[in-house]
A and B are shown apart, each in its own frame.
Chain A
Amino acid sequence: MDLLWQSTTPLAATDVRDELAGDPAITTVLTVLGRLETKGFLTRDRRRRPHLFRATLSRDDYMAELMHEVLGSSPDREAVLARFIGRASKTEADHLRKLLGA
């Protein structure tokens, strides 16, 4: 996933395999890419052969979504995850706003 985040152009499965350490089998790489696509993290261009993969959103976008869930003050979140400090504090809220660029 990091490879596709770093890459400026969409990658084919063979490109991904070549970049990965340990020389994994192409079927393994395709399985993982397919799984990431099912979860919505990757988008696959099926018009081309071989299929090209690119990240649906940037790493920062996902990080912002994650931190929003962690630091958001909605009581709904409380049941999803147990934080060391229960509710979002002012500093965290300020920080979150900075992170989210708002």
Chain B
Amino acid sequence: MTASKYSSPRATLRTTIFGLSALGVAAYLVVTAVMFAAIVWQLNRVFATDVLDSLSAEVRTLATIEESGGTDALRTTVQRLSRGSNARLYYLSGADGSKVAGNLAALPPRFAEEGSGGMFPYRFGEGPRAGERYAAGLAVALPDGGRLVVARDVEDQRQVIWWLRLLALAGFAAIALGGLGLGLVASRSVLSRVETMSEATSRIMVGELSGRLPLAGTGDEFDRLSESVNAMLARIEELMHGMKEVSDNIAHDLKTPVNRLRQRAEATLRTAKTAEELGAGLGQTIESADEIIKTFNALLLIARLEAGAIEETKTKLALAPILTDAVELYEPVAEEAGVRLFAERIADVSVDANRHLIGQAVINLIDNAIKYGRHSLQAGNGKETGSSDTQANIKVSLHQDSGRAVITVADNGPGISAKDRERAMERFVRLDKSRSLPGTGLGLSLVAAVARLHGGELRLDDNAPGLRAVLSLPV
């Protein structure tokens, strides 16, 4: 299953969002580490300078005391000082190396040499409260061969720096863990959204065309993406539905004439005895073939129009000549059919359109009006239509209405009942009354397709009486 692809830990770590948060955390850590290091280094330096300054000052003072008062004066001073603050540490040894005075228990081992100094641990206190602390000290050699060590307890400063380091480390750890954790959570949540989308697309891919991507309802970027994908899916479904419908209809409506062709050919083969009979039979066969070709051509044209691939053939097109030409072309046919076809109120409107397609659409509308308007009128009345009231007429007009060019072809025939009007524009739909007439059943759907392609629409209205076909196109 594809879902597991997204829920594996590796997938979680490979997301863009996790990568970005890891990078952010790393950058933050580097910057703060440098900062902390600088602070600690500076603090150390300040503490050390401080301690060293006061130690050397004291050493100088004690040296002066020793010079003026001798070893005894120094010993008393050290004894006095040793009783003072806990932080001040002293050790005075005699020429033989034994302790003479001071509050340090022993000479720090490294201080035995000449001129040495530095950090050393020392024992502090007694009993259970005893402990080891650190001190910084300086050692000087005395003229009598003894040795003086002056030291300061620096345990508190050490503690400060130690705590600072600990705090920094803890902070780093918290930031690293928190940042990466948040990254993981975000990554997981993105992945789960992607996963649901991916599951939905998988379902759609295997044929569930009505499926849609789920929306979280938050209006975030995923919802926006899902919405546009869903719009696309809806369009695809519509197209697929159209394709299926067309292929069903082709199967149904083309099989009939193909079968008729076959039967005619068979009948001719079986029954024709003379060359004349054969010729007539073949003539009929060719007629059937032409009928099929016409249907195919119309279907192909509609299919192309619905694919919407004619954008480059559009030009600025004045509609008036298109209408008057079409009326002029059909006027004799209409007259012969006993229909008065005329153009009225032709406004001067131009649209961005393909001349041939608009011409064909208008002609289809007029052709339809003559064929069905007239035919049904006669069928309805049964008898000759004597009075001028029942004179069949078809009026073609053009006007502009709120940014739209509106072409109207109106007849006064029986019209189409409200419930059939939508259906009449569908492919291959031939309303019962028209089945006996020649035609492919594609005329109106072609007009509708032309209209849609130009961003317009075809509407069938009641002309009371009759049908009013309204083709509106954006100007």
Q: Note whether A and B form a binding pair.
A: no
Question: Which of A's residues lie within 8 Å of B, judged by CB?
Answer: none
